[in-house]
C-alpha cells in the first residue's frame, strides 16, 4: 500500500504519529510490509481483532470468538511500549481462565503455539 502524497523522509512522519488505521476488510499481507518499513526502529503494533479460534474436538477445544486477537509488537515486548527490544513480539490473546484462584494456561494458546512450532514462553498477563 503506497501513499502517493506521503513524504519519503522517515523523519517527517514523527509529527504524524500516533496513527491508528482500521482496514475492516483488509487481508493479511495488505499493509504489514509498508508498516514495517515506516516503523523502522521505533515501537509500534499491528493488532488483528474479530478473529475466531477454531473447533478442535480432539483437544476438547471449541470455537472462541470473544477473546481472539493477535498483536504484532515492533521493537518492544509490551503493548505499553515500555520495554524496548531489538526484536518483534507476537502476542496471542485467548480467554483467561482462573480456577481456585490460580491462573491456568489456556489450552487454546498451547494448541495455537504448537501449530507453528512454538511454545508458550511465560505466564498470562492480565
Distance CA 100, CA 103 (A): 8
Distance CA 61, CA 48 (A): 21
Q: Give the tens place of pLDDT for each residue, 91-115.
A: 888 776 666 766 555 677 788 888 8
Q: Give the tens place of pLDDT for each residue, 12-50.
A: 655 555 666 666 666 666 677 888 888 888 888 888 888
CA 124 to chain centre: 14
**Which helix (H) or strand (E) covers residue 102, if one does?**
strand 102-104
Confirm if 74 and 43 have CB atoms less than 8 A apart. yes
Q: What contacts 97, CB < 8 A, 6 or more positions away?
A: 103, 104, 106
Amino acid at each position: 500500500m503506497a501513499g502517493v502524497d506521503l513524504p519519503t523522509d522517515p523523519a517527517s512522519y514523527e509529527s504524524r504519529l500516533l496513527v491508528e488505521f482500521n482496514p475492516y476488510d483488509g487481508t493479511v499481507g495488505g499493509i504489514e510490509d509498508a508498516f514495517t518499513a515506516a516503523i523502522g526502529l521505533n515501537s509500534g503494533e499491528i493488532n488483528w481483532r474479530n478473529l475466531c479460534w477454531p473447533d478442535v474436538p480432539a483437544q476438547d477445544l471449541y470455537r472462541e470468538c470473544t477473546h481472539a486477537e493477535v498483536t504484532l509488537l515492533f521493537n518492544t515486548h509490551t503493548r505499553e511500549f515500555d520495554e524496548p527490544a531489538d526484536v518483534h513480539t507476537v502476542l496471542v490473546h485467548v480467554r483467561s481462565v482462573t480456577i481456585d484462584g490460580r491462573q491456568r494456561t489456556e489450552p487454546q494458546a498451547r494448541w495455537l503455539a504448537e501449530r507453528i512450532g512454538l511454545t508458550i514462553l511465560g505466564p498470562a498477563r492480565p
